[in-house]
Amino acid sequence: MRQEIKALASSPSFGPFQPPAEAAEFGSPSQIKGCGDTIQVLTPRWLELLDAAATERVSSEASVPQRIQPAGRHTLILGLLCHKMRPNKSTNIQTVLGLDLYQGGARRRVIDTTYRFGFTMSYTTIQRRLADLSEEAARMVKVLGYIPDSIATYDNFDFARRLSLLL
């Protein structure tokens, strides 16, 4: 079972965070593309164990267990296991969740609390990733600016943070 987690931790969905080449793909479901398929192929024994844990009986007399849809739970639990086994190499799930929380307006305390539980990366790591992403975006704008038929626009208004970014 340990070998399954090692194999899963080296897959693109659970491995190191790498921003997508296209800005339109960032934050989309394709950022963690193929998690379900990856889990089914690389971790059949873990999938069996998690399925058994997610199955509950309707009553003590019922002999047929009722299935709960645990796909998101599988991804989160296996992402936690991968990150605990390889904390420097398995950061994709935690980084994407942290960036999503930050973008959604979560406060620093919330992100740091989820970091302590292992669900996300720390607030300072998220800040570093955002700085890296903004530098990459600035570089891409420079490259695209030299294309004669391209148009670039910028909107500095963020509803979640109100006018604080403009001051």
Query: What is the full per-residue pLDDT of the chain (167 aa) written as tens digits?
Result: 888 888 888 888 888 887 766 544 554 444 566 677 778 888 888 888 887 777 765 445 555 555 444 467 788 888 888 888 888 888 888 898 899 999 888 999 999 999 999 889 999 999 999 998 888 888 887 887 778 887 767 766 655 555 454 44
Domain ranges for the chain, please list them. Answer: 2-145
State how far the alpha carbon of 74 is from the alpha carbons of 56, 69, 159, in Å. Answer: 16, 10, 33
